[in-house]
Structure 1
Amino acid sequence: MWSTDQIYNLYHTAGVFLKDADFVIETPEYILLVEYKNADIPGAVNPQAFKPFEEKRTIGVARKFYESLHYLAMEKKDKPVKYIYIVEYPHAGATDRKLLRNCIAEKLPFRLQQGRKAKLIEDFEVLSIAEWNSHPDYRAYPITPVKAEENH
């Protein structure tokens, strides 16, 4: 796994104001672009203010996919790309994540790549932390909560 601080630092140093996915994981078969948002952590300030279906937010999640592709191209990473949005927010369930997946997927290049020789995106998923940690392909990269005292 690479931390995308590498991407952020490259973009920032070059004066390019692009937003990138939070994590990049290269497996033998795929590049996984992972975006992570947790509005359901203990002590979160106003977690109810997080609106996952808000147009600005869904466009922002999609943009992070597109804007991370520049870095992958510059590094000549040509494996199929999967984009995973790991999201936690109050009262979210599997149905909510499926609806959110469909909403964001409309903004990703699935239709654009139909009938083309290459794909920009292989798959897109919206998962909870528990779903990520139990997924047969992703559980090798577990997400574990950091306790408040570990942040200091």
Structure 2
Amino acid sequence: VGRGGFGVVYAVELPSLPGWGRVAVKRALSEVDAREVMAEVSNLRRCAHRDVLPLLGYCGAPRAACIVTALMRGGSLDDHLLLSPDARARLQKLGFKGTPGLSWSQRLSALCDAARALVHLHSNLILHRDVKTANILLD
């Protein structure tokens, strides 16, 4: 469902996580050091908050390093702001039901949630370092 500097994100059904339905598995690119994955896992463990993506599992093996999180079927804030054909295709892959796009009050709500998440991260001495609309995920 996506690709970034860290790796590729897949939407999968994991029988070992009953009750979650499809989840997101972010698999590290081969050139990413497994220590980077474990550092992200450590940060996610420390920062549980309603506005931060929950960590459901991980694999630290060097050739299969990955992180499992909840799948945000609403895509990214970027998807709903751009409304490009690529954004619409991403939302369809995620299983988004509804009409893409956000009202001004929904945009403001998403930004307030993101701000609360950043305040929480900063209070735990964690800097996100890549805050952008493509990284603000919607449920």
TM-score greater than 0.5 by the shorter chain? no
Task: Indicate the structure (1 or 2) with the bigger Cα radius of gyration.
Answer: 1
